[in-house]
């Protein structure tokens, strides 16, 4: 079910949708249905123009990122910080900062920021890192642990969740550890809305700490239409589909 969910979601992303429209235009062109070919060619052009536009991409992702404010000041007396997993690829020729993707690194740095703020005032702070291995020899949690240690986190203060495949499973596994205590939840801003609902559905008392915001306004010419904007739309589509799927399953 997990793999099927990922495959279906992959084909409902912005770029595959645009390519499907182009494919339809090509099919009708080969069939000499020039009117239909022109229609789908225009739709595909219009689609890519929309999703690559800065204003449109910001409009799509902004509601997700604005669902929770940034946690600028670390609350006191919190014992657990959970950094949700993202992606990595083990390569012994690379530094650990190249093996983990930028989203994972950004999330971990935010978690470590809270960890160090709390560590200055108390000794019983735990940093929880999460994520399974998929097709990699190392779990994502273990890769995050390696980077955290290199950035000054005590190995004794790190808890790894090596088996969760998605946010729902991360919530379930976290609940077994924190024993009803408050938890700082760190994830990407666009993902926080869904993550927060999933964790609260499991009865966890969380303090949201969104990071890695993608909304921005730039007057630099190349920013008006760019692949960066398409990526923002892709992230938003992934979250809206995830929210819809979780709603259908009664998970939120």
Q: What mean pLDDT do residues 87-104 have?
A: 95
Contact 204, 178 (CB under 8 A): yes
Q: Judge if 86 and 58 occupy the same domain.
A: no
pLDDT band of 252, cuts 50, 70, 90: confident
Angle between helices 54-65 and 189-201 (to 10 degrees): 30
Range of the domain at 188: 80-211
Q: 93 pLDDT exceeds 90?
A: yes
Classify residue 97: in a domain, yes or no.
Answer: yes
Give a yes or no: residue 160 inside a domain.
yes
Provide the 10 A C-beta neighbour count for residue 147.
21
- Report the pLDDT value the prediction gives residue 120, as an integer from 0 to 100: 87
Identify whether 119 is part of a domain: yes
Q: Mean pLDDT across the stretch 189-207?
A: 96
Query: Which candidate, 72, 8, 15, places its Cα nearest to that of 44?
Result: 15
Distance of alpha carbon 88 from alpha carbon 12, whole angstroms: 23
Q: Are residues 89 and 200 in the same domain?
A: yes
Of residues 63, 160, 74, the one with CA closest to residue 112: 74
Residues 6+ apart with CB under 8 A from 226: 52, 54
- Give the Cα separation of 52 and 232 in Å (integer): 9
pLDDT band at 136 (very low <50, low <70, confident <90, very high): very high
What is the tens place of the pLDDT at every residue in 77-86?
Answer: 899 999 999 9
Percent of the chain with pLDDT strictly greater than 90: 88
pLDDT of residue 206: 97
In a domain, residue 74? The reply is no
Say whether both 94 and 128 belong to one domain.
yes
Same domain, 191 and 145: yes
- Does 149 reside within a domain? yes
Minimal CA–CA distance to 79: which of 119, 113, 44, 40? 119
Q: List pLDDT tens digits, range 63-81.
A: 999 999 999 999 998 999 9
Same domain, 89 and 186: yes
Task: Indicate if 108 and 199 belong to the same structural domain.
Answer: yes
Question: What pLDDT shows up at residue 2?
Answer: 65
- pTM reported for the whole predicted model: 0.91
């Amino acid at each position: 079910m997990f793999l099927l969910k990922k495959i279906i979601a992959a084909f409902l992303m912005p770029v595959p949708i645009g390519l499907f429209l182009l494919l339809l235009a090509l099919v009708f062109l080969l069939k000499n249905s020039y009117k239909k070919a022109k229609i789908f060619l225009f739709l595909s052009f219009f689609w890519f123009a929309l999703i690559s536009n800065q204003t449109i991409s910001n409009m799509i992702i902004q509601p997700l990122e604005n669902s929770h404010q940034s946690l600028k000041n670390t609350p006191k007396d919190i014992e657990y910080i959970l950094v949700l997993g993202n992606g990595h690829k083990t390569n012994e020729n690379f530094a650990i900062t190249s093996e983990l993707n930028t989203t994972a690194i950004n999330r971990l740095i935010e978690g470590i920021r809270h960890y160090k703020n709390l560590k200055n005032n108390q000794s019983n702070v735990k940093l929880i890192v999460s994520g399974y291995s998929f097709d990699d020899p190392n779990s994502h949690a273990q890769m995050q642990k390696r980077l955290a240690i290199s950035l000054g986190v005590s190995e004794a203060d790190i808890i790894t969740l090596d088996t969760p495949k998605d946010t729902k499973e991360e919530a379930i596994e976290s609940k077994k550890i924190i024993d009803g205590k408050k938890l700082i939840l760190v994830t990407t801003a666009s993902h926080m809305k869904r993550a927060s609902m999933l964790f609260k559905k499991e009865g966890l008392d969380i303090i949201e700490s969104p990071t890695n915001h993608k909304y921005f306004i730039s007057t630099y010419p190349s920013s008006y239409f760019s692949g960066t904007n398409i990526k923002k739309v892709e992230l938003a589509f992934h979250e809206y589909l995830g929210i819809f799927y979780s709603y259908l399953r009664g998970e939120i």
